[in-house]
Amino acid sequence: MWYVYILKCSDDSLYTGITTDIIRRLKEHNDGKGAKSVLGKRPVEVVYSEKADNQVNAAKREREIKSWNRKKKLLLAQKGL
């Protein structure tokens, strides 16, 4: 099982990614082992996640969400939690 997730960073920015284990990935991000774009923005918290059947579908959904503006991402997070 794959997941698409949105993180809210300490500077209030949003980061979207994919993983097979959200808890492990969140720990990696907060330990400085995640995406470089998040390094100076810790701590981060997961504000949204959704399941995907496989890595290809997760990556497609990630690209779709990344193309959205901040407001739309926050609306998704608000509705999804």
Q: What is the pLDDT of residue 55?
A: 98
Total structural domains in the chain? Answer: 1
Distance CA(38)–CA(53), nearest Å, equals 26
Q: How many CB atoms lie within 10 A of CB 44?
A: 20
Q: What is the pLDDT of residue 67?
A: 98
CATH code of the domain covering residue 36:
3.40.1440.10
Q: Which residue segment(s) compose the domain that 53 sits in?
A: 2-80
**23-48 pLDDT tens trace:** 999 999 999 998 888 999 999 999 99
Cα distances (Å, whole numbers) of residue 24 to 20, 31, 39, 46, 72: 9, 10, 16, 12, 26
pTM value surpassing 0.85: yes
